[in-house]
Amino acid sequence: MNETEADDEVRAESFRQARSARRLELVEDYLELIADLIDDHGEARQVDIAARLGVAQPTVAKMLRRLSKDGFITQRPYRGVFLTEEGRAVAERSRTRHRIVEAFLCAVGVSPETARLDAEGIEHHVSAETLEVFERFLERAADA
Chain contacts with its own copies (rule: CB under 8 A)? 5, 8-9, 11-18, 21-22, 25, 29, 48, 51-55, 105, 108-111, 114-122, 124-127, 129-130, 133-134, 136-137
Closer to Mn ion by CB, 32 or 48: give it: 32
Distance CA 124, CA 29 (A): 9
Distance CA 120, CA 44 (A): 20
Considering only residues 74 to 103 of the shown chain, the ones binding Mn ion according to CB under 5 A are 98
Closer to DNA by CB, 61 or 141: give it: 61
SS3 content of the chain, % helix, strand, coil (to 5): 80, 5, 15
Distance CA 46, CA 60 (A): 6
Total of residues contacting Mn ion (CB under 5 A): 4
**Footprint of Mn ion (CB under 5 A):** 29, 32, 98, 120
